[in-house]
Structures are given as C-alpha cells and as structure tokens.
Amino acid sequence: MPRIDSPADLEKLRKSILSQRDPDKPCITLCSGSACHATGSGKVAESIEEEVKKQGLRDEVDIRKTGCHGFCERGPIIVIHPEEICYFQITPEDVPEIVSQTIKEKKVIERLLYTDPDTNEKIIHESEIPFYKNQKRLVFGSNGSIDPKSIDDYLAIGGYSALAKALSGMSAEQVLEEVKKSNLRGRGGGGFPAGRKWEGSRNAPEETKYVIVNADEGDPGAYMDRSLLEGNPHSILEGCTIGAYAIGSHEGYIYVRQEYPLAVENVNIAIKMAEEYGFLGKNILGSGFDFTVRVHRGAGAFVCGESTALMTALEGRVGEPRSKYIRSNIKGLWGMPSVLNNVETWANVPLIINKGADWFTQFGTDGSKGTKIFSLVGKITNTGLVEVPMGMSLKDIIYKIGGGIPGGKKFKAVQTGGPSGGCIPDELLDLEVGFDELTKAGSMMGSGGMIVMDEDTCMVDVARYFIDFLTDESCGKCVPCREGLGQMRKILTKITEGKGKEGDIKLLEELSEVAKEASLCALGTSAPNPFLSTVRYFRDEYEAHIQEKRCPALSCKELITFHIDPAKCQACMICKKKCPAEAVDGGKKKIHVIDQEKCTKCGTCFEVCPSRFSAVTKISGEPVPSPIPEEERIITRKSKANE
C-alpha cells in the first residue's frame, strides 16, 4: 500500500474504496464489542461465516464485525444492510434461519425483532427503536458501520478528511480557534475547556510538547471510552493528530488501562495501518508535519486516570499525582507542556474540524455544547451506552431511552460521575444534563457513568461502597485522603452493620471537609461527594441505620432477617432445596421456617419463592416473629379435606 502523500491522493483513494462497495449489497454487521463478546458474539460470528459459506453466498454477502452498538442489554446484535433490519439476542442456532429467510428470501423474522413494550409492536429498523431514536449519535454512531480492524472502512465513512482539511487548508492557529469557538469541554470528568487547555500549551516556549489520550477509564460502571477505542480507534488517532498540529507537538501517548486488552489490540492495529497509509509518522499527507504516537498500558490503578498521576506513570513511576499549582499543560510530562484529554474529547475533534464550530454549537446548552456518551447501567431496563445532546433531562434519558426501572420497582436515585460524583434523587429528575447543572445538584458529569438505583438500593451502602473503592485506590501520599478516607470507611461500614452511633454523621462531615480542602489531588477532594450527596438527600436512611438499626431498603445484610410468612407459605419446597446453607426447615405440606442461626442472608430463598406466593419477606429494625407452633405448620388443602 503506497503512502498517501496529499489530500488529493486521499480523496482518490476514498473514491476508489467507495466505488468497490455496492451500497445495495447485503451486509451482515455483528456487534463484536467486549460486552457482546461476553454474551457469545464470537460463536455467532463463526456460525455466520459457516452458514454463509454453506449456502453458497460468500461472494454475494459481506460480513462485518463491528464495534459496540450501544444496546448492550440485548446483545448479541445483528443489523442487516441495506434494509437496516435489526435482530437482537442472537444465538448460533438462529443463524441458519437468518441467512436463508432474511438474506435469501428478504423475509423478516418476527421473533428476533425488538418489541415496543408500550405498544407491543415489532420494530424492524434500528433507527426507529426508541432506545436509538431518542439519541443523537454524532460520535458513537459510526461504531455500527465499521470494522475497527479495517482502515478502509474508516476511510469509506469519511475518515481522515478532517486531518487533511486541517493540515492543508488551515493554520495551526486556525485549528485552535475553531476548537475554542466550539466550546468543547473535556469529557473525562473535569469539563475544562479543551481549547483553553490547548492554547496554554501552544503558547508555552518549550520546543518539545506532548499530546496524551487518557484511556484509563476507571469509573466502575463506565465503559464508553472502551467501546470507542475498540470500535473506532482511528477517530481518536485522527483527533489527537489534529490536536498535536494545533499545539505544535510531534509526540503522543495513548494510555490505555491494562484491563482493556481488545482496545489495546485494536489501537495498535490502527496505529500500524495509519503509519502505513501515511496518516502518522513523518510528513503527514505531504504537509511537512510529523507526529508519532505510542500505546502505553496501565497496570491496574484507578488513580492513574488523574492527569498528573497518568503522566507520572508514563514516566515509569508509581501513579502518585503532583500538585497542580503549575498546570500540566504548561509543565506536564517530563516537565514539558502536555495536553491531556479524554478519549471522547479527542473523538469529537474531527467532527468539529470537518463540520465547523458553528455546527457543533447548535447541540447542547449554553454552558455545555455538543453531545455526551453515557453508560446507562444498574436498575434500568435498557442497559447500554447512549449518546444524547447536552441539555436532555435525566428523566428522558432514564425513561424514554432507558425504558424505566424493571420489575415494577420504584426509581430512587441516579448516580453520575463515578466515585467523584453524587446521587440525584427523584425530585430533581427534570435536571438538564450538563457540567454545571450536575455540579450544582451535588454531583458531577464525570466520565459519563449513570448508575440507576431503585427502592431496593440502600444509599448508606452506596456511600460505603464508593469510599471503600477509593480507599483501595488511593495512592496513599497525602494524609487527608489516605487516613481520612480510611476512617470514613470504618465509620460507614459500622453504620451498615448496625454499629453506628450518635455523632457519626458529624464526624463523617468533618472528615469530608478536610479531604475536600486539603487533599493532594481530585481523587481525595472529590471522594466525599457520594457520602455528602446521599446524606443531603437521604439523611433519613442514615438516621434509621444509626438510631433504629434499621435498613429502610432492606439491603444491609447485618440489619435484615429473612422470614417466611406462615400465612403465605405453600410448602412447595423450592427454597428448601435451593438454600446453600440448608437453613430451611420444612417439608411437603409443612410450612417452612428459616433457622436464623444457619441463615447466611444470601437472599436465595427470597429470589426463588414463586411470585404467586411471595412468602419470603425481609424484616429490618424489629425482631423476627417466633415460629408458629408445630401443629399449625401442617397444611391441609381445602380440596383434600372435602374428600
């Protein structure tokens, strides 16, 4: 493959690629992101290859393994082009029918389609499904059309045209101005204006400057960056090359967390191909601009997502953050000006350059322009990755796109911003999603994790969970975080175990204040947020735990007991058989009783008791009723008594 030495040659190549692709030719796209892979898309892919060959259609049908489509709840997902027929939860057994019915006979298989839960109608086309219809997939949408391991696929959808435009038609200052005008704010958590960050580096006197892609996505429950890197790695390469041009950098790093092997693999393949084609390396597209980029793997530390800790790790040291009194865009990696931005931020850059800042600013709100990809997970019907314009209300995201809370349960709170964020309760659901709006409500945008919680979630336990996570991940350098969070963890754990006492909330608040004011880095200063937001909106739960030793959500193991209601138990023996601790006493026609000494509170009996009986209950804050006398435990069925 000869190098592409000019924008004109790039357009020639693109035309030639497109001319060899027939838009009407049937194409089976199969989502092969990590999540679908975990549900078996690998086997489905093999089956498709086999079946297509078997039915003699290898030359008439294209097969494309793409990145994540976003509707992770329903994977594995297949979309058949050009009709855009979307099938969900595909198993290898479905494949022969799909090939013979839909590909050959152009017939739709009803049972594999999405059913609208409100109207019960079957929906054929991907874009009409409510989950997708209400999104604005500017950045993420391309995932469904390209095979991440193929650079030609990326070129076919217009890839690298932004880079060509920037290098040949714009000066570095003009590129910078466009990004500034777009008001693009960092998508990694801080929400700092990207243009301003770039400008600081551009104006710094040093010759050597670095661009860094932060792909150390550590927030538990957030996997947008992973899906972008796995599914469309070239978009990030293009974005950071444009950024490098704007600030005058010639060397870049992509810091990918070690827990993302597929992302590392796909980015490395993309870099190699980009270098072959001449989009990376020396004299890119004949412009005279040089830029190389390397992948650096993380080694399992959440704190390395913090920008100064990441740079310290890049230098081959432990990920201990540094003070930010002099910002890292002035003195960063090896003391040089370094622009570090999140994966999603970089992915927005080619769009902004191609379509212009004016186009970009039409989306979003005054303070937060563009779109944001959220990972909508937890107690939600449609789990997955969603991209919405800033300004959409939380209510719309959770109900219109997310499909609401499953199992008929009531919504309780939505946690945004990961461990640095907070919980937003029901009364604030009309909140329009944006950086400043979320911060005002006591949370933050963070990297885009959106964990939905229902009536069964204990908010004290949520605070304990996050502090536990952060205590584990703290680098340990500064006292307020290392010692302060450690003490907070002890207190919160005691509260969930029923050992809380008067004065605990006040002490937690004091520790929070010190961590917020005096910690070395943002991990420490934002660590108290989950506690502070849950105590702000759910103080009654804390007080119930401390004063009444009661968990209102019936969740904290030490504070609940399981009890079989003798009035409802039908002695079906299911819970007795499933109990891993053999703690259920009873028999056929003998009402079951739980031996509290043996019970491990695993909750299996609660889950397996048939819903028409619903005999297993959880009790908290009061003693368990004593078992009824032996004689009353024998069930005599009315029908048998009449015989």
Partner 1 sequence: MENDRIDQIVDKHQGEASSLIQVLLEIQSENHWLPKRALERVSVKLQVPLTRIQHIATFYKAFSLVPKGRHEIHLCMGTACHVRGATRILDTVQDVTGIKPGETDLDLKFSLETVNCLGCCALGPVMEVDGKTHGKMAPGETADVLKNYE
Partner 2 sequence: MSEILLQIDGKEISASEGMTVLEAAQNAGISIPTLCHHENLEPFGGCRICIVEVEVNGWTKRVVSCIYPVAENLVVRTRSEKIDKIRKMILELLLAHAPDSPELQDLAQEYGADKDRFGKEASFCIHCGLCVRYCDEIKKKNAVGFVDRGIRKEISFIPEIAAKECWDCKECFPLCPTEALQAAYVLTKALICPSPSSETASEE
Q: How many residues make contact with partner 2 (CB under 8 A)?
A: 31
Helix (H, G, I), strand (E, B) or coil at 560: strand
Q: Is 509 in the site for partner 2 (CB under 8 A)?
A: no
Q: Which DSSP string do the residues of 350-372 spell out, in sequence order? A: HHHHHH-HHHHHTSB-SSSBSEE
DSSP helix, strand, coil percent of the chain (3-state; round to 5): 45, 15, 40
Closer residue to partner 2 in complex, CB, 388/508:
508
Q: Is 190 in the site for partner 2 (CB under 8 A)?
A: no
Which residues are within 8 A (CB) of 363 and not within 5 positions of it... i.e. 6 or more apart?
136, 138, 369, 370, 371, 389, 390
Helices 7-19 + 161-169 axis angle, to 10:
160
Shortest Å, Cβ 225 to partner 1: 10
Q: Is 517 in the site for partner 2 (CB under 8 A)?
A: yes
Which residues are within 8 A (CB) of 267 and not within 5 positions of it... i.e. 6 or more apart?
229, 233, 236, 237, 254, 256, 295
Q: Choose from partner 1, partner 2, none: what does 407 bind? Cβ within 5-8 Å by kind.
A: none
Q: Within 265-324, which residues bind partner 2 (CB under 8 A)?
A: 301, 303, 318, 323
The correct pick among 64, 181, 482, 589 for binding partner 2 (CB under 8 A) is 482
- What's the start-to-end Cα distance of the chain, in Å? 88
Whole-number Å distance between alpha carbons of 280 and 562: 62
Contact 417, 448 (CB under 8 A): no
- Element spanning 387, H or E: strand 384-389
Shortest Å, Cβ 335 to partner 2: 13
Shortest Å, Cβ 512 to partner 2: 11
Whole-number Å distance between alpha carbons of 420 and 212: 22
Shortest Å, Cβ 519 to partner 2: 8
Closer residue to partner 2 in complex, CB, 303/311:
303
Which residues are within 8 A (CB) of 11 and not within 5 positions of it... i.e. 6 or more apart?
164
Which residues sit at the interface with partner 1, rule CB under 8 A?
Answer: 34-35, 38-39, 72-75, 218-223, 226-227, 258-260, 296-302, 313-319, 375, 377-379, 383-384, 415, 418, 449, 451, 453, 457, 462, 465-466, 469, 475, 557, 578, 580, 600, 602-604, 607
Shortest Å, Cβ 118 to partner 2: 48
Q: Choose from partner 2, partner 1, none: what does 584 bind? Cβ within 5-8 Å by kind.
A: none
Contact 255, 313 (CB under 8 A): yes
Shortest Å, Cβ 282 to partner 2: 38
Closer residue to partner 1 in complex, CB, 350/419:
419
Contact 304, 259 (CB under 8 A): no
Whole-number Å distance between alpha carbons of 526 and 517: 10
Q: Is 478 in the site for partner 2 (CB under 8 A)?
A: yes
Which tokens belong to 524? Answer: 């420490």
Q: Choose from partner 1, partner 2, none: what does 325 bind? Cβ within 5-8 Å by kind.
A: partner 2
Shortest Å, Cβ 482 to partner 2: 6
Closer residue to partner 1 in complex, CB, 242/405:
405
Closer residue to partner 1 in complex, CB, 349/451:
451
Closer residue to partner 2 in complex, CB, 451/478:
478
Helices (H), 20-76: 34-38, 41-54
Contact 174, 180 (CB under 8 A): no
Q: Is 476 in the site for partner 2 (CB under 8 A)?
A: yes
Segment lying near partner 2 (by CB under 8 A), choices 268-276, 365-373, 401-409, 467-475: 467-475
The correct pick among 102, 474, 526, 555 for binding partner 2 (CB under 8 A) is 474
Shortest Å, Cβ 502 to partner 2: 15
Helix (H, G, I), strand (E, B) or coil at 152: helix
Which residues are within 8 A (CB) of 581 and not within 5 positions of it... i.e. 6 or more apart?
598, 599, 600, 602
Which tokens belong to 449? Answer: 């994790």
Q: Is 475 in the site for partner 2 (CB under 8 A)?
A: yes
Q: Is 486 in the site for partner 2 (CB under 8 A)?
A: yes
Contact 387, 364 (CB under 8 A): no
Residue type (1 letter), 247: I
- Element spanning 87, H or E: strand 85-87
Q: Choose from partner 1, partner 2, none: what does 630 bind? Cβ within 5-8 Å by kind.
A: none
- Element spanning 215, H or E: strand 210-215
Segment lying near partner 2 (by CB under 8 A), choices 36-44, 270-278, 480-488, 601-609: 480-488
Q: Choose from partner 2, partner 1, none: what does 487 bind? Cβ within 5-8 Å by kind.
A: partner 2
Q: Choose from partner 2, partner 1, none: what does 270 bind? Cβ within 5-8 Å by kind.
A: none
Query: Could you give the maximum distance between any two Cα atoms of the chain, in Å?
Result: 99
Q: Choose from partner 2, partner 1, none: what does 17 bind? Cβ within 5-8 Å by kind.
A: none
Whole-number Å distance between alpha carbons of 330 and 201: 6
Segment lying near partner 2 (by CB under 8 A), choices 157-165, 191-199, 455-463, 508-516: 508-516
Contact 252, 212 (CB under 8 A): yes
Q: Choose from partner 1, partner 2, none: what does 349 bind? Cβ within 5-8 Å by kind.
A: none
Shortest Å, Cβ 538 to partner 1: 15
Shortest Å, Cβ 34 to partner 1: 5
Residues in the chain: 643
Q: Is 472 in the site for partner 2 (CB under 8 A)?
A: yes
* Measured CA angle at 511 (ends 507, 516), to 5 deg: 145
Closer residue to partner 1 in complex, CB, 194/213:
213
Q: Choose from partner 2, partner 1, none: what does 331 bind? Cβ within 5-8 Å by kind.
A: none
- Cβ neighbour number for residue 221 with a 10 Å cutoff: 16
Q: Is 514 in the site for partner 2 (CB under 8 A)?
A: yes
Write out the residues near partner 2 by the rule CB under 8 A.
Answer: 301, 303, 318, 323, 325-326, 471-480, 482-487, 490, 510-511, 513-514, 517-520
